[in-house]
Amino acid sequence: MRKVSEIIRRLKQAYPNVRTGLKHSNPFELLVATILSAQCTDERVNLVTSKLFQKYRKPEDYLAVSQEELAQDIRSINFFNNKARNIQKTAKKIIENFGGEVPKTMEELLTLDGVARKTANVVLGDAFGIASGIVVDTHVARVSQRLKLTENKAPEKIEKDLMQVIPREYWIEFSHWLINHGRKVCQARKPKCNECFLSDLCPSAKS
């Protein structure tokens, strides 16, 4: 599909060397950060994890405190009680079922609490370089809909549509490109169509 190839070419040129905005130093930290990032900004998560990852360095550390203490440590993040519970359950499963290591398959990651396809795709792509799918967040959904790469609204269906038109070699980078583009140019309320290098390829661009 020529249009998709040109979209990829331009995005690649505009946003080279992209990666997740969540700060981490190992796969488990990225998993925790991604669980925390649900309905929360990367900036807020990074602010919290800068202290959190000094206190908790491995799965066992999260089980050495009460759920209440962990919840207090992440209190400024949305749904902190639920997320504290999910992180502790996930830490327990990683120790008991996966030898203390974050699993490297979609099927295994989906057995962890607080982990759906989006979180699993982030971890597989950014921690392990495994292209198992395409991360669909609000930016990816919005930009791909405006570019008419999908007509769907549900993240799982959007992901399936994108996986059919985007070559697998770009699955990991593609979501980062759209996230960057969604933040900087194709914003939710006031897209900067007159500044957009994709406007001539975009059916939604304002004339």
Go through the chain and tell me how many residues it has.
Answer: 207
**What DSSP character marks residue 41?**
-
The one-digit pLDDT tens for each residue of the chain (207 residues) are: 789 999 999 999 999 988 889 999 999 999 999 999 998 999 999 999 999 999 999 999 999 999 999 999 999 999 999 999 999 999 999 999 999 999 999 999 999 999 999 999 999 999 999 999 999 999 999 999 999 999 999 999 999 999 999 999 999 999 999 999 999 999 999 999 999 999 999 999 965
191: left (phi over 0), alpha (psi -120 to 50) or beta: beta
Helices (H), the chain: 2-14, 27-36, 42-55, 59-63, 67-73, 80-98, 106-109, 117-122, 128, 138-146, 155-165, 171-184
| CATH number belonging to domain 27-128 | 1.10.340.30
200 is catalytic: no
User: Class assignment of domain 135-201?
Assistant: mainly alpha
Domain boundaries, the chain: 27-128, 135-201
Catalytic site residue from 73, 118, 126, 161: 118
Nearest to 92 by CA among 112, 77, 76: 112
User: What is the spatial distance between Cα 168 and Cα 153, in angstroms, rounded to a whole number?
Assistant: 22
Whole-model pTM: value is: 0.91
Catalytic site residue from 92, 93, 113, 137: 137
Contact 149, 109 (CB under 8 A): no
